[in-house]
Structure 1
Amino acid sequence: MIEVSVPQSDGSLPQHLFMDLDHAGPVPLYFQVATRIENAIVDGELPPGSRLENEIALGERLGLSRPTVRRAIQELVDKGLVVRRRGIGTQVVHGPVTRKVELTSLYDDLARDGKHPETTLLLHEVIPAGARIGELLNLDASSPVLHLRRVRSADGVPVGVLENYLPSDFVDITEADLAAHGLYQLMRGRGTTMRVARQRIGARRASAEESTLLEIDEGGPVLSMDRTAYDNSGRAVEFGHHCYRPDLYSFEITLVDK
């Protein structure tokens, strides 16, 4: 049985984690600190959602410089074990989501990795397709489409901002449906089989709104993805325009030599 030792309300880490720090040995102190916190996370002593004290407080308590502590925390950020959340501080997470480039949704990927997907619905409206979306979905510009914008979180930490457009046979998908299920789950439940997709993956700077929604520094980097999905009859059934936090999300591609 794992004994869980949650940090105190002020975020102070359990002192016993650092009892054997070797200030005179060959192993860098930042690496020792990072390793001890990482072990506590992996062992379950620091569960997801635990908040860590700030760098100054931890450094003073351990007799370490702020740059040393900052580098230790950055090691954990780079491994996807903790995230820095604006206005909240440094928080333990389950780990990054690695998404194979296949026809799945973010909801599916999070659930598969044992994370708890959560949705914040920002926009739910039926609008005319317009020229650009009409071209992508092979619709008249005047055709109604369902326009959605959501924040997808994993265990309370925002991972991506998702924007989708769907043709008229999906306009009756409700806000309650989206709160309880992934979009592709709902589409499959209506008998739609997504067979193939055209997808473009890139990187860019986050807008001011995206930075706030994803709790990252304003103008920080995000991964971007545009996808048009087609059903087994070749009809375009969804266009998605998404962005993700790169410290919590990555794409995995298998390459085969011909």
Structure 2
Amino acid sequence: MDRASPVPLYYQLAQQLEAAVEQGRLAPGSLLGNEIDLAARLGLSRPTVRQAIQSLVDKGMMVRRRGVGTQVVHSGGRRPPGLSSLYDDLAAAGGHPTTRVLRNVVEPAPPRVADALGVPEGSDVHLVERLRYTHGEPLALLRNHLPAGIVDLDTERLEATGLHRMIRGAGIALHSAHQVVGARLATAQEAAVLAEPEGAAVLTAERTTFDDTGRPVECGSHVYRASHYSFDLQLLVR
């Protein structure tokens, strides 16, 4: 702990604990021990330790269990900037991603999707809707549209791997994407599948991905549990 830093001690401790969880040094199910012992070991006050732990409880990374203590629930999800898939990011972070396909159909392209994919409105497009889990808990509701016939979207494969892996496996070189990140309140249907109360805060991402010829190959509308997920951005001063 840097006591000379203007950063509050509780926040420094919270950041260290969060890093330990995300790097696997504190695995899901690990117990922190009681606050008194932890405060004594670190040379901090009990209120400082309590505030640090509570901030991680509020993020959904830890839970207080009566008679057990504070326990790590999971590492959550942190998304770095760049053209990567949630499946690959979670797998790389040890998040043990799993997927349940909710819908896998061909439908007429609505105006927003037709515009994003550069196809006529009402033409056939493929819709896949999936629920992505990490450490056995729902993390994100993913809706993706693709031009019909561009990839063999087998349901069994969609539940075993990521969509971008399947696109690359079809010989398509992904090059870039345009993404808009936002936040809103969950609908009743979204809250139900994400195990959140109706009206809970969710993060959103609207993304269109292009191949190396500039052709749109998929557009996604994704909803993430704000209590379990964040976008990790590095900003440069110009």
**TM-score computed with the length of structure 2 as normaliser:** 0.74
| Structure 1: segments with no counterpart, 5+ residues | 1-30, 52-69, 85-89
Aligned residues: CA RMSD: 3.0
Counterpart residue number, 2:45? none
Task: For residue 115 of structure 1, give the secondary structure of its aligned residue in structure 2.
Answer: coil
Please report how far the alpha carbon of residue 145 of structure 1 lies from its aligned counterpart in structure 2 after TM superposition: 1.1
**Equivalent position amino acid for 1:202 in 2:** G
Of structures 1 and 2, the larger Rg is shown by 1
Counterpart residue number, 1:198? 178
2:138 corresponds to 1:138:
no
Counterpart residue number, 1:216? 196
CA distance 1:165–1:45, change in 2 (3 Å): closer
Please report how far the alpha carbon of residue 139 of structure 1 lies from its aligned counterpart in structure 2 after TM superposition: 0.3
Please report how far the alpha carbon of residue 246 of structure 1 lies from its aligned counterpart in structure 2 after TM superposition: 1.5
CA distance 1:139–1:201, change in 2 (3 Å): same
Counterpart residue number, 2:130? 150
2:199 corresponds to 1:226:
no
Query: What aligned pairs does 1:98-113 form with structure 2 within 5 A after superposition?
Result: 98-113=78-93
CA contact (8 A) 2:59 2:228 kept: no
**Equivalent position amino acid for 1:198 in 2:** H
Counterpart residue number, 1:15? none
What are the superposed Cα offsets for residues 78-132 of structure 1, whole Å, 9 maximum, x if unpaired?
Answer: 3542269xxxxx9743312211121111101100101110111111101121322
Q: Percent identity?
A: 44
Counterpart residue number, 1:122? 102
CA contact (8 A) 1:134 1:141 kept: yes
Task: For residue 149 of structure 2, give the secondary structure of its aligned residue in structure 1.
Answer: helix
Counterpart residue number, 1:4? none
Task: For residue 166 of structure 1, give the secondary structure of its aligned residue in structure 2.
Answer: strand
Please report how far the alpha carbon of residue 217 of structure 1 lies from its aligned counterpart in structure 2 after TM superposition: 1.6
Task: For residue 170 of structure 1, give the secondary structure of its aligned residue in structure 2.
Answer: coil
| Structure 2: segments with no counterpart, 5+ residues | 1-9, 32-49, 65-69
Counterpart residue number, 2:75? 95
